Amino acid sequence: MGATKLSGMQKQVLSLYRGFLRAARSKPTTEDRKRIETVVSTEFRKNSKEVDRKNFQYIEYLLRLGHKQLDQLKSPDMVSISSVKIN
Amino acid sequence: IMASGLVGRVVGTNPSRAARLIPSRWTSSKAVVGAKLKTFQIYRWNADSPGKPELQDYQLDLKDCGPMVLDALIKITNEMDPSLTFRRSCREGMCGSCAMNIDGCNGLACLTKIESESSKVTTITPLPHMFVIKDLVVDMTNFYNQYKSIEPWLKRKTPASVPGKEILQSKKDRAKLDGMYECILCACCSTSCPSYWWNPESYLGPAALLHANRWISDSRDEYTKERLEAINDEFKLYRCHTILNCARACPKGLNPGKQISHIKQLQK
């Protein structure tokens, strides 16, 4: 388990991640659930590696963006989310 | 020269590398003799490129540009720096999209004239104390949610006297709504209120309270008592300390502070 104490911002990120996974569980089909989980987990893991821990402005910006997307996802009309990679 | 810079930025992969290519000072490509050059300092911040927000200088020939700040912004975006991001729609002061802070005062860019004194620098920044999404675009969701929370629609307990027809209102009662129905929700007033800066989530702000008064004063609405009780809160209403920056900032000439004091009078 994490021996070091988590900072407030880290707790916020983790609670957002948990929120996404909980929203995914409420979706009708298992396929939708898996798709949401993979998209969300890849996004979070990618950002955890690429974004500097001390770049508070960018992390807060991503947190706000994530919360808005989570509110959209929670509505029962939304079935799944997807992401596209543009090179 | 400008065109190649443009292509490089659109196709380029690494955003931070492209950001370094942008020179810190832009000038209009037409360097005409007798041109009246004015410098605009515009707030720039991009989440994708690293670094803090900055004020970038742009020089424009005022003789070649429309009179309003929005004309200058559009000209800069079209000719000099297409990455400049801002909201705009009607260009006539009706939609409220282009609300921003120009030379320290909140206002609509389409209604604010460019100060013709070319030696002075015009500073354009986003609405104060709002989260910035990019450059001059701010996050308005909290503002809109507060407007939604006052339930800005007609609520009746009894059906209309003639079912299927309009609910009648005398001219005198309709005149009570003047000074409130014209509000375009541009957020200039709320973002100029220091009380709203310090408590944006709990204080409703002058715009939402103006609209609350609009529905409280509407003779056709039958939920007046419930509306007054809903906002009769230490934070929702009484954070207003009659600073009256809202009346100064409103681009439509409305006085939200006056409407708030009207609500306070109605609260017993």
**Cβ of A57 and B52 within 8 Å?**
yes
Closest CA in chain B for residue A47: B48
**Cβ of A61 and B47 within 8 Å?**
yes
Q: Which residues of B touch A55 (CB under 8 A)?
A: 50
pLDDT of residue B48: 83
**Helices and strands (H and E) in chain B: how many:** 10, 8
CA A45 to chain centre: 9
* CA-wise closest residue to B70 among B35, B112, B37, B32: B112
What ipTM did this prediction achieve? Answer: 0.76
Tens of pLDDT, residue by residue over A4-58, are 888 899 999 999 999 999 998 888 888 888 888 999 999 999 999 988 888 888 8
Determine contact: B50 vs chain A, CB below 8 A.
yes
Tens of pLDDT, residue by residue over B14-53, are 444 444 445 556 766 555 677 889 999 999 999 888 778 9
Best of A61, A68, A70 to disrupt the B interface by mutation (most B CBs within 10 Å)? A61
pLDDT of residue A54: 86
pLDDT band at A81 (very low <50, low <70, confident <90, very high): confident
**Residue A1 above 70 pLDDT?**
no
CA B51 to chain centre: 26
Instruction: Considering only the beta carbons, identify the residue of A55, A61, A87 that sits closest to B13.
Output: A87
**What is the SS3 assignment for B105?**
strand
pLDDT of residue B31: 57
Alpha-carbon span B174 to B52, nearest angstrom: 50
CB B222 within 8 A of CB B203: no
Alpha-carbon span B120 to B104, nearest angstrom: 14
Cα dist from B251 to A3, B36, B90, B99, whole Å: 55, 28, 14, 9
CB B243 within 8 A of CB B196: no
CA A64 to chain centre: 11
pLDDT of residue A77: 83
Say how many CB pairs under 8 Å bridge A and B.
Answer: 11
* pLDDT tens-digit profile, chain B (268 residues): 333 333 333 343 444 444 444 555 676 655 567 788 999 999 999 988 877 899 999 999 999 999 999 999 999 999 999 999 999 999 999 999 999 999 999 999 999 999 988 899 999 999 999 999 999 999 999 999 999 999 999 999 998 888 889 999 999 999 999 999 999 999 999 999 999 999 999 999 999 999 999 999 999 999 999 999 999 999 999 999 999 999 999 999 999 999 999 999 999 7
